[in-house]
Every structure is written in C-alpha cells, then in structure tokens.
Amino acid sequence: MNYKIMSDFEYIDIVRDIINNEEFLKLKFYRHHDNTRLDHCLKVSYNAYKLAKKFNLDYKAVARAGLLHDFFYGDLRYINVIERKYMLNAHPYFAYYNASKIFKLNAIEKNMILSHMFPISYEVPRYKESILLDLVDDLEALKEVGIYIKDRLKHNINLILIMLNEVV
C-alpha cells in the first residue's frame, strides 16, 4: 500500500477495520483499468478524504465509502459488451451488498456507494459527500486510463522503432 496513505494515522484509524478485512483485501486480485481494484479504492478513498476534510464534509464517511465503492468481485476485462454495460450499472449494488454484510454503514455511506456511478447507474447522489466521491472516482479512473494509454503508446512506438531498425 502507498506509504503516504499508510503514514496518515488519522486516516488509518478511520478505515482500519476495512483495510484489515480479508474479504476486502481480495480486491488486490482484480483489475481496475491498469491497476488493482484495491489500489484504485485506496486512492479514491484517500483523495476524497483529504478533500472532504478541506471542505468540512463528513470525511470519515467519505474515507470508508471510498474504500467500499467498488467492493465487488469479478474481472470486467473478460466479459462481453452487454455484460460489461450491465456491470457498470449493477456493480454499485454488488459493492453495497458486500459492504453491508461485513460493515455497519450509515445513510451517507450507503448513498455514496450506490450513487458513485451516477448518471450511468440509477441511484441519485443525495449528499455533498456523494457528489465528491463520484467526482474523485471519475478523476482517478481517467488518470488510470490515461497512464494505460500513455504506456501503450510508448510500447507501440518502441515496437515501430524496432521494426524500422530491422527493415533498414
């Protein structure tokens, strides 16, 4: 896990029960763009937590829901387009179901998890914290996709250069 995150003791105290949970830690085996789902959830949670503190929002709920917003199992890379569209809509409900079986969630946390894919999913954000989490999740996903595209471009350029050198 990220050193910066792990050295923020206030944050760790808020989410300790989640980051030490064996079921939650299984997210390290699932991909999220070009990252693990566990790393994605940690980044979303921590970045949203820092912003929530700055804007005087419920930063504890934001930190916890940020970790749990993608708490579902399954690899979206290996399913067809129709199943992928279904999962984009449905995964907040799977995440909420999994989280609520293990952790006690308040109304704000529930809404944050269920609405983090709005407007793709049908749950509407009802709190400022929900909107914040949705935006941070979107930005983190864009960053992950951007890194993936940049790496693929570098890879393809290197392949072209190698092929050109072999032709000459």
Residue 82's pLDDT is what? 59
Query: Looking at domain 3-167, which CATH architecture does it have?
Result: Orthogonal Bundle (1.10)
Please state whether 20 falls in left (phi above 0), alpha (psi between -120 and 50) or beta. Answer: alpha
For the chain, 168 residues long, give each residue's pLDDT as a single digit of tens.
676 788 889 999 999 999 999 999 998 887 666 678 899 999 999 999 999 999 999 999 999 999 999 998 766 655 555 566 656 678 899 999 999 999 999 999 999 999 999 988 889 999 999 999 999 999 988 887 766 566 666 666 766 767 677 655
Contact 26, 115 (CB under 8 A): no
Check if the beta carbon of residue 93 is closer than 8 Å to that of residue 44: no
pLDDT of residue 122: 84
Question: In the prediction, which pLDDT does 128 show?
Answer: 96
Per-residue burial over 36-59, b = 16 or more CB atoms within 10 Å of its CB, e = otherwise: ebbbbbbbbbbbbbbbbbeeebbb
CA R_g for the chain: 18
107 C-beta neighbours (distance < 10 Å), count: 10
Name the pTM for this structure: 0.82
Please report where in the chains the tokens 């910066």 appear, as a residue.
Answer: 4
pLDDT of residue 150: 60
DSSP state of 106: -
Measured distance CA(8)–CA(30) in Å, rounded: 25
The Cα angle at residue 102 between residues 92 and 42, in degrees rounded to 5:
60
